[in-house]
Amino acid sequence: MNVLKQPTKKTYERDAQLTQTVMDIIDHVRKDGDQALLDYAAKFDHVELDSVRVSPETVKAAYEQVDPDTLEAIRFSASQIRFFAEEQRKCLKDLDIQSRIPGLEIGHRMIPVERCGCYVPAGRHPLPSSALMGIVTAKVAGVKQVAACSPAFKGYGTIHPAVLVAMDIAGADEIYCMGGAQAIAAFAYGTQSVAKVDLIVGPGNRFVTEAKRQVLGDVGIDSLAGPSEVLVLADESANPTYVAIDLLGQAEHDPNAKPILVCTSQKVVEEAMKELQRLLPTLETRDVAEQSWTDNGAIYLADSMEEAIAISNDIAPEHLEVQVNNEREVAQKLLHYGSMFVGHYAPVAFGDFVSGPNHTLPTMRTARYSNGVWVGTFIKTPFHQFVSKEGCANLAKHCMQLAQVEGLQAHRDSVKLRLEG
Distance CA 294, CA 259 (A): 10
The stretches of 364-408 forming alpha helices (DSSP H) are 389-405
What backbone phi and psi angles, to 5 degrees, belong to 250?
-80, -40
Please, which contacts does 401-407 make with residues 24 or more away whose CB atoms are closer than 8 Å?
none
Burial class (CB within 10 angstroms; exposed 0-12, middle 13-18, buried 19+) of 56: exposed
Active-site residue, selected from the candidate residues 275, 319, 321, 327 = 319
Of 229, 252, 275, 318, the catalytic one is: 318
| Cα–Cα nearest to 325, from 280, 251, 264, 244 | 264
Print burial letters for 124-149: b (CB count within 10 Å at least 16), e (below 16).
eebbbbbbbbbbbbbbbbebebbbbb
Q: In what order do the strands lie in the sheet with 2-5?
A: 2-5, 298-301, 258-263, 229-234, 319-323, 339-342
Nearby residues of 93 by Cβ (< 8 Å), 6 or more positions away: 110
Annotation marks residue 384 as catalytic? no
Distance, C-alpha 199 to centroid of its chain: 13
Helices (H), 45-179: 56-63, 68-91, 128-141, 161-170
Is 270 annotated in the active site?
no
Taking Cα atoms as reference points, which of 296, 209, 316 lies closest to residue 252? 296
Q: Which residues are known catalytic residues?
A: 318-319
